[in-house]
Chains A and B, each alone.
Chain A
Amino acid sequence: MGITEKILCSSTHEYLLDNENGTFTIGLTDYAVEQLGDIVFLELPEVGSEYKKGESFAAIESVKAASEIYMPISGKILEINEPLVETPEELNQDVYENGWLVKVEATADAATEMNDLMEYEDYKESVH
């Protein structure tokens, strides 16, 4: 199964990947990164911080503009992709393997919160 068949996407262009061990990986969709163009800056949250679904937890900047990145579900930050902060331009190559942003521990609300998210194919359709 390809990775795009496993992820869920938000209308604000984040993806959520269930790691099937109670943790989730969050990143930006390939479509979002393509729209942003050259990524030149990335700011990630501190490990241990907690965010509610819909809250801004990171910032990303392209040559043109600054954008916020929002939590697709509520959770506590377990791990951040530290090397990516040094080389944010790598996001333009790949958003999954090396281009993920954070890993989170979900809350009990995760299942309900995920109802708002779309499968990748539906997401692609919604943005085109």
Chain B
Amino acid sequence: MTKETYLHEKHVALNAKMVDFAGWHMPVQYTTSIIEEHNTVRNAVGLFDVSHMGEVFVSGKDALKFLNSVVPQDISKLAYEKAVYCQLPNKDGGLIDDLIIYKLGITEYLIICNASRLDEDLNWLVRNKRGLDVKIDNQSHNFSLLAIQGPKAAELMQKMGLKTNQDSFTIKTGEVAGIKVLASRTGYTGEDGWEILVENEFSEYLWDKILEAGAEFGIKPIGLGARDTLRLEAALHLYGNDLDEKTTPVEAGLSWSIPKDKEEDYNGKAVIMEQLANGGTKKLIALKMLDKSIARHEYEVYFNGEKVGHVTSGAPSPTLGANIALAYVKNLNEICTGATVQVMIREKLHDAVVVKKPFVSKRNKVKGE
């Protein structure tokens, strides 16, 4: 059965077009123009209901040891109230999910994961407990998650009573419009902003208050359609498109997130370490189309007349006014920045140039004052 977030009535009242996404009935757009919603986030501020995402609390004496055994990142280096982008590899280094881990206390952590992968993640985490003293507590059904994203997000949050002296990738308890929340300065748009974790019963109140207070900043509710083009411009991966169980973090271009010197063993470590040194069998590249055509998910990619891979995500970039894509290709040195490849679109080959990631510079690295 398709699930609804606690904000479902709000979306319906706003005339949102609703779609099924990862088992949830979610707003894909509130207006007829995804481009307008996209630009609102780039130029002002947008409000997203991302309550479908999973929240899993991990606590207990062995919480650190446990987390260090399931992710390539070094959780012992994660300071109190800090967040780190992580992956959950299987034994072969393939990705079960990508997630953010937050340190909430000496032995307490929060995982925020993809809605589509929550069940798999929970199964995997429980299977990997191996007698450790750790509690894995899925609280996804008790929390709503509201994302406030854009260059005006900080002004808006400050106006609503949140202390905004908070760095990017940190989480703090705080109050927004008098409601106690967990405020994480993170997002999925490439912009500065917050993801606000709130108990379900307060989510509708908070949603209304944010739209009300945000009016002077030009706030709009933003659907999954613009969320997708925003994250693509920032070259942020979408699980199921750009990440899956047959893809390692090295192949996905996530080597930057993996410490080489972590001592503890973790699932897939041998494969990941080997690939960090020598590269994977494929690599994720960023493409800009050289004509007006649009590369879409699963379109084939050619290089020198040979099929070398496929597109995983592709869309028009409203910010660049060009059509962009992410694609996996054979790990050939010749397919580097500046190289031209071809994408098969409706039985014709169209040129695309390999460009650096991200497509649009991120503005989400903020130092709290």
Judge whether A66 and B225 touch: CB under 8 Å: no
Stretch at the interface among B29-37, B59-67, B107-115, B258-266: B29-37
Smallest beta-carbon distance A22→chain B, Å: 31
**Which partner residue on chain A sits nearest B229 by CB separation?**
A63
Judge whether A63 and B346 touch: CB under 8 Å: no
Judge whether B293 and A64 touch: CB under 8 Å: no
Judge whether B35 and A63 touch: CB under 8 Å: yes
Alpha-carbon distance A34/B32, docked complex (angstroms): 7
Stretch at the interface among A37-45, A70-78, A94-102, A107-115: A37-45
Judge whether A66 and B294 touch: CB under 8 Å: yes
Contact status of A63 and B296, CB under 8 A, knowing A37-B29, A43-B346: no
- Give the chain B neighbours of A61 by CB distance below 8 A: 294
A127 within 8 A of B: no
B292 within 8 A of A: yes
- Give the chain B neighbours of A66 by CB distance below 8 A: 294, 296
**Which partner residue on chain A sits nearest B29 by CB separation?**
A37
Contact status of A41 and B294, CB under 8 A, knowing A63-B315, A63-B316: yes
**Which partner residue on chain B sits nearest A40 by CB separation?**
B316
Count of chain B residues near A, Cβ 8 A: 17
Judge whether B294 and A92 touch: CB under 8 Å: no
Alpha-carbon distance A40/B321, docked complex (angstroms): 10
Alpha-carbon distance A92/B34, docked complex (angstroms): 12
Alpha-carbon distance A59/B296, docked complex (angstroms): 14
1/0 per residue, CB under 8 A from A, across B190-227: the answer is: 00000000000000000000000000000000000100
**Which partner residue on chain A sits nearest B296 by CB separation?**
A66
Judge whether B292 and A63 touch: CB under 8 Å: no
- Give the chain A neighbours of B33 by CB distance below 8 A: 37-38, 92
**Which partner residue on chain B sits nearest A36 by CB separation?**
B32
Contact of B225 among A34, A37, A41, A59 (CB under 8 A): A37
1/0 per residue, CB under 8 A from A, across B249-292: the answer is: 00000000000000000000000000000000000000000001
- Give the chain B neighbours of A40 by CB distance below 8 A: 294, 316
Alpha-carbon distance A37/B225, docked complex (angstroms): 10
**Which partner residue on chain B sits nearest A35 by CB separation?**
B17
Judge whether A41 and B34 touch: CB under 8 Å: no
- Give the chain B neighbours of A63 by CB distance below 8 A: 34-35, 225, 229, 315-316, 318
Residue numbers of A with Cβ under 8 A of B are 34, 37-38, 40-41, 43, 59, 61-66, 92
Sample (11) of A-B pairs whose CB atoms are under 8 Å apart:
A37-B33, A41-B293, A59-B346, A63-B34, A63-B225, A63-B315, A63-B316, A63-B318, A64-B34, A65-B296, A92-B33
